[in-house]
């Protein structure tokens, strides 16, 4: 969408207050991040708190790179962070800041790639290079370009399948056109390793946004009218194949109120099932409460205190942060006792 490109190009050069939703990040990670990046903070949550040492992290819509630079410090020299953004000016802001961060931490584990998050196969810098040598003047040139891009997407995708431990994002998914959102969630699923997870902060609404608000370019580029509903976001994840979906954080107070619709910040976590043979081992789980019963995305019912047979991938979803304290899982390799 043109309005999104234009607005964030301008917001890369000068801070736009209307795009800033107050977030507090761990100050110890901010010390080494250049001030011009911190000034252009257009996030609405802090998904970096879900990242662990040694992981490969993908940040969708990295903007000036703040979350990538925080994650770079958490994953450490053995980990890797990739930020993707479609905006030349935002990419320039992030790439220019990278050497200062690298010098301060003493290792270089971040890179910023040029692409659209609903198409994590097409490397737009590679497309630029193709066009440089082969300007498109005729329909034949255009067909040749299409074939070259198709080859690039297969042979050198921007983000390879099954390559990422955790996908994070901060206030970006709402900006993707509604008709492309299903593809966006499928792309996130594709790039994650089996058993990988997402921690995505975004703006969500308490009910559907009507068409006339969606057509308002300012509201859309301002991270408002493209928002999914609280339930719609979880459904989109389930439709793409995610399990263990949790609305891990939801602000009490709305960030914006438009025609009585509340728009607020939320953070979702979810897992890509691990279908490897080890993950398919048969295990048993007991739900310990406090509810009488709970149901997972596969429709499996866990009654309090009752043993339920499940596969390793289902067990890994239960073991995940939001649920782990409510289940005891039997049949896993001993991790030692006492």
Ligand X SMILES: C[S@@+](CC[C@H](N)C(=O)[O-])C[C@H]1O[C@@H](n2cnc3c(N)ncnc32)[C@H](O)[C@@H]1O
Q: Closest Cα partner for 81 from 173, 175, 169, 181?
A: 169
Asked if 268 touches ligand X (CB under 6 A), the answer is: no
Query: Site size for ligand X, by CB under 6 A?
Result: 26
Q: How far is CA 17 from CA 43, 84, 242, in A?
A: 12, 23, 34
Among 48, 98, 109, 118, binds ligand X (CB under 6 A): 118
Determine the interface stretch with ligand X among 84-92, 133-141, 247-255, 262-270 (rule: CB under 6 A): 84-92
CA pair distance 302, 70, nearest whole angstrom? 38
Residue 267 CB, nearest approach to ligand X (Å) = 13
Q: Smallest gap, in angstroms, from Cβ of residue 258 to ligand X?
A: 17
Non-local CB neighbours of 60 within 8 Å, separated by 6+ positions: 84, 117, 167, 168, 169, 172, 173, 188, 200
Cβ 15 to ligand X, closest distance in Å? 11
Site for ligand X in 16-35 (CB under 6 A): 19
Site for ligand X in 168-207 (CB under 6 A): 170-172, 175-176
- In the numeric block, which tokens belong to residue 214? 């969606």
- At its nearest, how many Å lie between ligand X and the CB of residue 54? 23
Exactly one of 42, 185, 220, 233 binds ligand X (CB under 6 A); which one? 42
CB nearer ligand X, residue 174 or residue 316? 174
63 close to 40: Cβ distance less than 8 angstroms: yes
- 66 contacts ligand X (rule: CB under 6 A): yes
Instruction: Tell me the three-class secondary structure of 123-168, residue by residue.
Output: CHHHHHHHHHHCCCCCHHHHHHHHHHHHHHHHHCCCCCCCCEEEEE
For position 67 contacting ligand X by CB under 6 A, the verdict is yes
- Determine, following the binding rule CB under 6 A, whether residue 86 of this chain makes contact with ligand X: yes
- Rounded distance between C-alpha atoms, residue 205 and residue 257, angstroms: 9
- Minimum Å gap between C-beta 80 and ligand X is 18
Q: Which two three-digit tokens encode residue 295?
A: 């149901």
For ligand X, which residue of 33, 48, 63, 181 counts as binding (CB under 6 A)? 63
Q: Which of 141, 66, 148, 56 is nearest to 100 (CA)?
A: 66
Region binding ligand X by CB under 6 A among candidate stretches 36-44, 136-144, 187-195, 224-232:
36-44
Nearest distance from C-beta of residue 149 to ligand X, angstroms:
17
Can you tell me which of 48, 87, 205, 209 binds ligand X, judged by CB under 6 A?
Answer: 87
Between helices 139-155 and 124-133, what is the axis angle to 10°?
Answer: 140
84 versus 314: smaller Cβ distance to ligand X: 84
Q: Is 227 in the site for ligand X (CB under 6 A)?
A: no
**Using CB under 6 A, which residues numbered 270 to 329 contact ligand X?**
none
- Is the distance from CB of 266 to CB of 238 less than 8 angstroms? no
> Which tokens is 132 given?
């440089």
Residue 71 DSSP one-character state:
H
Taking CB atoms, the residue at the shortest distance from ligand X is: 63
Shortest distance in whole angstroms from residue 41 CB to ligand X: 5
Question: In this structure, are residues 187 and 272 in contact, taking their beta carbons and an 8 Å threshold?
Answer: no
Site for ligand X, rule CB under 6 A: 4, 8, 19, 41-43, 61-64, 66-67, 84-87, 90, 116-118, 170-172, 175-176, 223
């Amino acid at each position: 969408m043109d309005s999104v490109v234009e607005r964030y190009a301008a917001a890369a050069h000068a801070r736009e207050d209307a795009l800033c939703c107050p977030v507090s990040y761990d100050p110890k990670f901010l010390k080494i991040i250049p001030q011009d990046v911190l000034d252009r903070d257009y996030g609405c949550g802090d998904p970096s708190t879900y990242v662990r040492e040694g992981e490969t992290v993908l940040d969708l819509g990295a903007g000036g790179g703040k979350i990538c630079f925080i994650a770079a410090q958490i994953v450490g020299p053995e980990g890797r962070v990739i930020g993707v953004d479609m905006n030349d000016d935002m990419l320039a802001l992030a790439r220019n800041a990278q050497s200062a961060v690298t010098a301060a931490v003493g290792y270089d584990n971040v890179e910023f790639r040029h692409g659209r998050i609903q198409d994590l196969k097409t490397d737009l810098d590679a497309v630029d290079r193709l066009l440089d040598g082969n300007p498109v003047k005729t329909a034949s040139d255009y067909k040749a370009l299409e074939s070259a891009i198709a080859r690039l997407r297969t042979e050198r995708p921007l983000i390879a399948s099954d390559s990422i431990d955790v996908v994070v994002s901060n206030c970006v998914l709402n900006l993707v056109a509604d008709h492309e959102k299903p593809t966006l969630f499928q792309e996130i699923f594709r790039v994650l390793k089996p058993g990988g997870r997402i921690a995505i902060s975004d703006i969500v609404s308490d009910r559907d946004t009507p068409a006339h608000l969606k057509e308002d370019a300012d509201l859309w580029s301002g991270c408002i009218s493209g928002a999914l509903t609280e339930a719609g976001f979880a459904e989109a994840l389930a439709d793409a194949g995610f399990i263990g979906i949790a609305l891990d954080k939801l602000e009490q107070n709305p960030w914006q109120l438009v025609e009585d619709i509340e728009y607020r910040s939320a953070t979702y976590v979810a897992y890509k099932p691990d279908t490897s043979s080890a993950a398919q081992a048969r295990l048993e789980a007991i739900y310990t409460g406090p509810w009488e019963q709970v149901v997972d995305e596969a429709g499996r019912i866990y009654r309090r205190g009752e043993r339920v047979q499940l596969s390793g991938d289902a067990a890994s979803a239960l073991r995940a942060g939001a649920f782990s304290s409510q289940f005891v899982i039997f049949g896993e390799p001993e991790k030692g006792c006492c």
